[in-house]
Amino acid sequence: MQAQAAPRREVLQKETELRLEVKENHSLTLKLVKGQAEIFGTDLLEQQIYTLRAQKIAVFTWEGCELQLQGIREPVEDAIEVIYESGDTPMREYANVHDLLQKRRAAALTHGSEGPRTMVLGQTDVGKSTLCKILLNYAIRKDCAPTMIDLDPGQGSIAPPACVGATPVEGPIDVEEGLPVEMPLVYFAGNVSPDPNPQLYRHHVECMAALLDKRAQSNLQVRAAGMMINSMGWIDGLGYELILHALNTFRVDFVLVIGQDRLYSQLGSIFRGNQSVSVIKLTRSGGVVNRPRELRKSSRDQRIREYFYGPRNDLQPSLVTVPFANLRVFRVGSGFAAPRSALPIGGQSVSNPLKVTPVTSMNDLMHMLIAVSHAQQPDQLLSANIAGFIWISSVDPVQQVVTYLAPCAGDLPAPFLLAGTVKTFLR
CB of 286 to ligand ATP, least distance (A): 7
Q: What angle do CA 128, 11, 63 make, to 5 degrees?
A: 65
> What number of chain residues touch ligand ATP (CB under 6 A)?
20
Candidate segments 119-127, 187-195, 245-253, 264-272, binder of ligand ATP by CB under 6 A: 119-127
Q: Which residues is 166 bridged to in the sheet?
A: 149, 185
Per CB under 6 A, 53 contacts ligand ATP: no
279 close to 255: Cβ distance less than 8 angstroms: yes
Candidate segments 104-112, 123-131, 186-194, 264-272, binder of ligand ATP by CB under 6 A: 123-131
Helix, strand, or coil here: 147? strand
Cα separation, 77 vs 7, whole angstroms: 10
Cα separation, 241 vs 338, whole angstroms: 19
CB of 395 to ligand ATP, least distance (A): 32
129 annotated ligand binder: yes
Which of 7, 41, 71, 127 binds ligand ATP (CB under 6 A)? It is 127
CB of 103 to ligand ATP, least distance (A): 25
User: Beta strands 278-282 and 254-258: pairing type?
Assistant: parallel
Reference 15, options 43, 44, 36, 32; nearest CA is 36
Map the footprint of ligand ATP across residues 343-382, applying CB under 6 A. Answer: none
296 close to 154: Cβ distance less than 8 angstroms: yes
Q: Which residues contact 107 (CB under 8 A, 6 or more apart)?
A: 113
Per CB under 6 A, 130 contacts ligand ATP: yes
Rg of the chain (C-alpha set) = 23
Residue closer to ligand ATP by CB (options 231, 373) is 231
Residue closer to ligand ATP by CB (options 19, 223) is 19
Per CB under 6 A, 124 contacts ligand ATP: yes
CB-nearest residue to ligand ATP: 287
Per CB under 6 A, 19 contacts ligand ATP: yes
Per CB under 6 A, 155 contacts ligand ATP: yes
Cα separation, 29 vs 16, whole angstroms: 20
Candidate segments 121-129, 138-146, 350-358, 369-377, binder of ligand ATP by CB under 6 A: 121-129
* Helical spans, DSSP H, in 87-127: 91-111
15 annotated ligand binder: no
Residue closer to ligand ATP by CB (options 129, 197) is 129
Cα separation, 339 vs 270, whole angstroms: 28
Q: Which residues bind ligand ATP (CB under 6 A)?
A: 17, 19, 56-58, 122, 124-130, 152, 155, 233, 285, 287-289
